[in-house]
Amino acid sequence: MSNTAANKAKAMKFSYGGQAVIEGVMMRGAHIAAIAVRDSNGSIVIHEQPLNATLYRGRISKTPFVRGIVGLWDALGLGTRALLWSADVALGEEEKVNFNGPLGWGTLAISLLFGIGLFFVLPTAVASGVEMVLAIKQPLLTNAVESLVRLGILIGYIWLIGRLPDVKRLFGYHGAEHKTINAYEAGAELTPEIAAKYPIEHPRCGTAFLLTVVLVSLVVFSIMGRPPLIWLILSRIALIPIIAGIAYEIIRFSATHMDNPIIRLMVKPNLALQHLTTREPDMQMLEVAISAFKCVLQAEQKSQITEEVARSNSPVGQRL
C-alpha cells in the first residue's frame, strides 16, 4: 500500500464530527477544527482552531467513559465559541475576534446552567410533585414519569425553537454537515451535488446522544431510588458526567456496528429524532460544509505526515 493510500485508510478510521453554526458549519478532526461561514458578502470565511493534543490524541481519547466526558466538555466550549465567531462573521463583523475570550466561556456557563435546570432539575421536581399528589409508592414508576417528562421537554424544546426562521437555517446547515460526513464515509467525491444524495441522519449525531442520555438516565436514576428532594436533585446533577460517559460509549459502539440488524433497529428512534434538528440543505449550505471538511482533511494529512516524520527521525523510530 502506498503512503498516500495508507494515510487515507488511517484517516477513514477516525470518526469525524461537527456541528452547525450561524450561516456555517464547524468540522472537527483529531488535530484541528475548521469553521466555515458564509459572510454578508456571500464569501466563505474559514477559521482553523488547533485542538488539545492531550484530549483528542492522548491516552484520554482512548480511555472508555472518560474520553466521552472530557471530549464532550471540550466540545461544548469549542462549539459555543464557534457559534459566537460565526455570528460575528455572518453579520459582517471583523472575523479576527477573541475566539477564546471570557464571553465564550461565560456563555457556555449560562448555557450549561440553563440546560441542567431545564432537562434535569425541572423533570425531577415535576416527577416528585406527581409522586406526592398521586401517592405513588413505586420509585421505578416515579423515575419512569421523570424520564417521560424529560423526553417531553427535550422534544418540545427542539420543536419549538425549530419554528424560528434563523433556527431553521441552522438546522439546514446541520443537515449539510451530516450529508457531507455521510458522503465522505461512503467514499464518495465531495461535491454539493453528490453530497446532496446522501442521508440527512447520522448515528453519531448530538441529537441521538441527547435521546440516549434520557434512556441511560432512566436506568441509572432507578438504581439510586428516590431520596429526599434536595438530595435527589443534587444526585441528578452529580450523575450527569457518568450518564454522559455511558451514553457516549453507546453512541460510539452503535455507530461502528451499523451493519448489525439489531443495532440498526435500536438506533431507529435516534435517527427519527434527528428530523427535528435537521433540514434539507441547499447547495450553498453544502458548499460551506464541504469547505470546512476539506480544510480539516488537508490539515489532518499534513499533521499525520509531520508526526510520522518525527517518529522516524527519533532514536526509537530509527531502531525500529
Spans of all domains in the chain: 16-308
Instruction: Name the least confident of 69-78, 254-263, 309-318.
Output: 309-318
How much is the pLDDT for 307? Answer: 65
pLDDT at 12 over 60: no
Q: What is the mean pLDDT of residues 256-266?
A: 92
Residues 6+ apart with CB under 8 A from 81: 99, 100, 104, 108
Q: Rounded to the nearest 10 degrees, how much is the dihedral formed by the CA atoms of 271, 277, 283, 284? A: -150
- Cell representation of residue 36: 466555515
pLDDT at 90 over 60: yes
pLDDT at 211 over 80: yes
pLDDT at 52 over 90: no
pLDDT band at 308 (very low <50, low <70, confident <90, very high): low
Instruction: Name the least confident of 39-53, 80-94, 140-154.
Output: 80-94
pLDDT band at 66 (very low <50, low <70, confident <90, very high): confident
Burial of residue 181 (number of CB atoms within 10 Å: 0-12, 13-18, 19+): buried
Query: Using an 8 Å Cβ cutoff, are 294 and 27 in contact?
Result: no
pLDDT at 14 over 90: no
Query: What value does the mean pLDDT of the chain take?
Result: 86
Instruction: Name the least confident of 59-68, 73-82, 101-110, 311-320.
Output: 311-320
The model carries a pTM of 0.86
Higher local confidence (pLDDT), 294 or 224: 294
